């Protein structure tokens, strides 16, 4: 399996795992601040970007194996791991499957999986139902706006929309990744890594109440919520996100 990855900075290794439909470009707002203190490794999940796009469906556990492959190829024995959304599910699987490889864990805007998960907010469910009737570019802009928090700046919406247009996901790869999120039922086993759970109080994609549900499953886990921020909080509040993450990792 060819998984495209890159590394920036020096210091303790930090692996970033992105969510559904986003390639490694989407970490841009926080990579410089994190790479000032860490060796930051970003990669394209299977099904997107420059990585292979095998036939799906995928599972979060399978994608965790890809993340482990990246660590091996990068020559990293042990790393901090940060996962966002679907990437947070993958990071949970990685922390259980290979605990010796995970130092500290940061889970962003994600869910515990299974029946205790707080369902997706109604506003996003309505958008998914409406999207097929919209022009593709209109639907895409609506999804970008929906992934941000309260009253997002037009400039930020424009930038993310342009990035999404310039980096369209592979349709089959997107569906295969989506299956990994939909079938994630929670990890089998205890997460022992020190864990920080991050989210935005205005997340329309993953209800922020999942942070507390997830924390209850992980001994000693700490929750931090960014007021007014949405699902892509690291685009909306990059400096605050970097500050919180760096302080936790150190």
DSSP letter string, 152-167: --HHHHHHHHHHHHHS
* pLDDT score of 229: 98
pTM of the model: 0.97
Residue spans of alpha helices (H) in 170-237: 171-182, 210-217, 233-236
In this prediction, residue 211 carries a pLDDT of 98
Backbone dihedral angles phi then psi of residue 80, each to the nearest 5 degrees:
-70, 145
Dihedral sign for Cα atoms in the order 30, 68, 81, 207: positive
Q: Which residues pair with 105 in a beta bridge?
A: 81, 195
The pLDDT value given to residue 164: 96
Q: Which fold has domain 5-120+170-249?
A: Rossmann fold (3.40.50)
**Number of C-alpha atoms within 13 angstroms, CB side, residue 140?**
16
Q: Do 146 and 121 form a contact (C-beta atoms < 8 A)? A: no
Q: Are 238 and 200 in contact (CB under 8 A)?
A: no
- Write out the chain's pLDDT in tens, 250 residues: 999 999 999 999 999 999 999 999 999 999 999 999 999 999 999 999 999 999 999 999 999 999 999 999 999 999 999 999 999 999 999 999 999 999 999 999 999 999 999 999 999 999 999 999 999 999 999 999 999 998 999 999 999 999 999 999 999 999 999 999 999 999 999 999 999 999 999 999 999 999 999 999 999 999 999 999 999 999 999 999 999 999 999 9
Contact present, 106 and 87 (Cβ < 8 Å):
no
The total number of residues shown for the chain amounts to 250
Taking 3-state DSSP, the helix, strand and coil percentages for the chain, each rounded to the nearest 5, stand at 45, 15, 40
Q: Give the CA radius of gyration of the chain.
A: 17
Compute φ and ψ for 48, nearest 5 degrees.
-150, 160
Q: What is the pLDDT of residue 91?
A: 98
- Let me know: does 74 contact 5? Beta carbons within 8 Å: yes
């Amino acid at each position: 399996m060819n998984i495209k990855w890159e590394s920036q900075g020096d210091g303790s290794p930090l692996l970033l795992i992105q969510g559904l439909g986003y390639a490694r470009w989407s970490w841009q707002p926080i990579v410089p601040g994190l790479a000032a203190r860490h060796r930051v490794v970003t990669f394209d999940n299977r099904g997107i970007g420059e990585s292979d796009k095998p036939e799906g469906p995928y599972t979060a556990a399978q994608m965790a194996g890809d993340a482990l492959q990246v660590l091996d190829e990068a020559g990293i024995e042990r790393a901090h791991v940060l996962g966002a959304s679907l990437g947070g599910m993958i990071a949970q699987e990685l922390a259980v499957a290979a605990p010796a490889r995970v130092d500290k864990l940061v889970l962003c805007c994600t869910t515990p999986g299974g029946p205790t998960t707080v369902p997706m907010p109604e506003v996003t469910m309505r958008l998914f139902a409406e999207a097929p009737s919209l022009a593709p570019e209109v639907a895409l802009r609506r999804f970008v706006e929906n992934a941000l928090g309260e009253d997002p700046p037009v400039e930020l919406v424009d930038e993310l929309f342009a990035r999404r247009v310039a980096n369209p996901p592979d349709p089959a790869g997107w569906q295969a990744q989506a299956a990994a999120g939909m079938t994630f039922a929670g990890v089998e086993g205890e997460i022992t890594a020190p864990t920080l759970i991050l989210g935005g109080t205005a997340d329309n994609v993953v209800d922020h109440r999942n942070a507390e549900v997830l924390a209850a499953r992980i001994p000693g886990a700490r929750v931090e919520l960014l007021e007014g921020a949405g699902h892509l909080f690291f685009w909306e509040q990059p400096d605050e996100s970097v500050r919180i993450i760096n302080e936790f990792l150190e």
